[in-house]
Amino acid sequence: MLWACLRFPGLAFSAAFAVAPEAGPSALLDTHARQRLIATANDEARAHGIRRGQSVAAARALCPALEVRPRDRDAEKRLLSELAAWCYQFSGHVSLVPPNAILMEVGASLRLFDGWPLLVERVTTGLREQGHPHTLAATPFASASWVFAATADGMVIPAREGVIRMLGALPLTQSGLPGTAVTALHAMGFRRLDDVFRLPRPELTRRIGRAGVNWLDRIRGHASDALPAWQPPASFVQKIEFDAELDGSQPLLFPLRRLTRALANMLAARDGGVQRFTLTLEHARGESTRIGVAMAAPQRDADRLFELARTRLERATLPAPARSIELHADELPVFRPPVRDLFEPIRGDGLDWPTLDERLRARLGDAALRQLTVVNDHRPERASRYGAPTVTVSLPRGRRPLWLLPRPLPMRPEPAAVLAGPERIESGWWDGGDTRRDYYIVKTVHGQHAWAYLPPGTLDGWMLHGWFA
DSSP output for 286-306: G-EEEEEEEEEEEE--HHHHH
* Interaction between residue 363 and other proteins (CB under 8 A): yes
Q: Which is nearer to other proteins, 385 or 424 (CB)?
A: 385
* Binding residue (CB under 8 A) for other proteins from 33, 364, 418, 420: 364
Cβ 461 vs Cβ 454: under 8 Å: yes
* Binding residue (CB under 8 A) for other proteins from 353, 409, 433, 461: 353
C-alpha triplet 188, 190, 196: angle, nearest 5°: 110
Closest residue by Cα to residue 102 from 145, 160, 55 = 145
Is residue 99 helix, strand or coil?
Answer: coil
Give bridge partners of residue 435 from the DSSP assignment: 427
Q: Please state the φ and ψ torsions of residue 265, each to the nearest 5 degrees.
A: -60, -45
Candidates 11-19, 234-242, 291-299, 390-398; binding stretch for other proteins (CB under 8 A): 390-398
* Binding residue (CB under 8 A) for other proteins from 372, 409, 418, 420: 372
Rounded CA-CA distance 135/145 in Å is 11
* Binding residue (CB under 8 A) for other proteins from 273, 298, 401, 408: 401
Q: Which is nearer to other proteins, 227 or 463 (CB)?
A: 463
* Binding residue (CB under 8 A) for other proteins from 57, 187, 234, 367: 367
* Interaction between residue 197 and other proteins (CB under 8 A): no
* Interaction between residue 77 and other proteins (CB under 8 A): no
Mask 403-432, x = binds other proteins (CB under 8 A)? xxxx--------------------------
Quick count: other Cβ atoms within 10 Å of Cβ 15? 24
At closest approach, how far in Å is the CB of 248 from other proteins? 22
DSSP state of 171: B
At closest approach, how far in Å is the CB of 45 from other proteins? 47
* Interaction between residue 342 and other proteins (CB under 8 A): no
Cβ 281 vs Cβ 291: under 8 Å: yes
Q: Which is nearer to other proteins, 339 or 402 (CB)?
A: 402
* Alpha carbons within 13 A on the beta-carbon side of 133: 10
* Binding residue (CB under 8 A) for other proteins from 152, 320, 369, 463: 369
* Interaction between residue 273 and other proteins (CB under 8 A): no
Residue 327 host element (H or E): strand 322-329
Q: Which is nearer to other proteins, 230 or 440 (CB)?
A: 440
Cβ 188 vs Cβ 206: under 8 Å: no
Backbone conformation region of residue 447, classed left if phi is above 0, alpha if psi is from -120 to 50, else beta: left
Candidates 43-51, 224-232, 299-307, 345-353; binding stretch for other proteins (CB under 8 A): 345-353
* Interaction between residue 467 and other proteins (CB under 8 A): yes
At closest approach, how far in Å is the CB of 253 from other proteins? 22
Q: Which is nearer to other proteins, 108 or 364 (CB)?
A: 364
What separation in angstroms does the CA of 112 have from each of 108, 154, 349, 358?
A: 8, 19, 31, 33
Closest residue by Cα to residue 240 from 290, 281, 293, 274 = 281
Backbone conformation region of residue 452, classed left if phi is above 0, alpha if psi is from -120 to 50, else beta: beta
* Binding residue (CB under 8 A) for other proteins from 187, 371, 430, 432: 371
* Footprint of other proteins on 440-459 (CB under 8 A): 444, 446-450
Rounded CA-CA distance 94/310 in Å is 32
* Interaction between residue 340 and other proteins (CB under 8 A): no
The single-letter code of the amino acid at 401 is P
Candidates 25-33, 152-160, 315-323, 389-397; binding stretch for other proteins (CB under 8 A): 389-397
Give bridge partners of residue 40 from the DSSP assignment: 28
* Binding residue (CB under 8 A) for other proteins from 57, 334, 342, 395: 395
At closest approach, how far in Å is the CB of 80 from other proteins? 40
Closest residue by Cα to residue 325 from 286, 283, 287 = 283
Query: Interface with other proteins by CB under 8 A: which residues?
Result: 346-353, 355-356, 359-360, 363-364, 367-375, 380, 383-386, 389, 391, 393, 395-396, 399-406, 444, 446-450, 466-469
